[in-house]
Amino acid sequence: MSKKNKNVSSYSSDSDEMIRMLKVLGAVLVIFAAFYFVFAVINGEIRFGKKATEEVEIQDVEIIAGETFNRGIDSYYVLMYDFGSDESIKLSSLYDLYTSVNGSKKIFIVNLAKKFSSKYVTEKESEINVKDIEHLKVKGPILIKVENEKGVSYTLGADNIEKTLFNK
């Protein structure tokens, strides 16, 4: 009978050890969950109260150069320039001012520095007054007035673009 008592005590000490290990593991999990919760609240991942609805805004202003003549609108402007050039701040300001004050015609912008536009950029003089986009070559900033999917006027240079947009 003494042999049975040894086995019983061995089982009870193993189960006590298992219970202690589960308690420690549970405590560690609770601590990690608390840290996650605190950091999630700080980072804004978890919010209390009303859910803030964010409106999705689709950007339809910047286009690629190949879409210059096919926007599906009767009359609009396309402003093409290198967004990283020295004149980019002035041209961006002209665009913003035109759209906020005088935006009688829709205006689209094209970044000439993008890879998609590189086939329309030239180091020589700009080739304008073309029938289709395949022959258009641009050296610097240009404003193209498009009517019925055809370029009807071309304005070169930031100063001339300003004059055209604001009838100066």
- Tens-place pLDDT, residues 61-95: 888 888 888 888 888 999 999 988 888 899 999 98
| Token code pair at residue 1 | 């009978």
Domain ranges for the chain: 1-54, 62-166
What are 117's two structure tokens?
């536009």
CA distance readout (Å), 26 to 19, 30, 53, 90:
10, 6, 37, 62
Please give the structure tokens belonging to residue 66: 């190949």
pTM over 0.75: no
State whether CATH 3.40.710.10 applies to domain 62-166.
Answer: no
The pLDDT value given to residue 30? 96
| Per-residue confidence (pLDDT) for residue 43, from 0 to 100 | 77
pLDDT computed for residue 13 by the predictor: 77
Q: What is the model's pLDDT at position 133?
A: 79
Counting as low any pLDDT under 50, the low residues of the chain are: 1
Task: Report whether 120 contacts 133 (CB < 8 A).
Answer: yes
DSSP classification of residue 101: I
Check the CA dihedral 39-42-45-50 and report its sign: positive
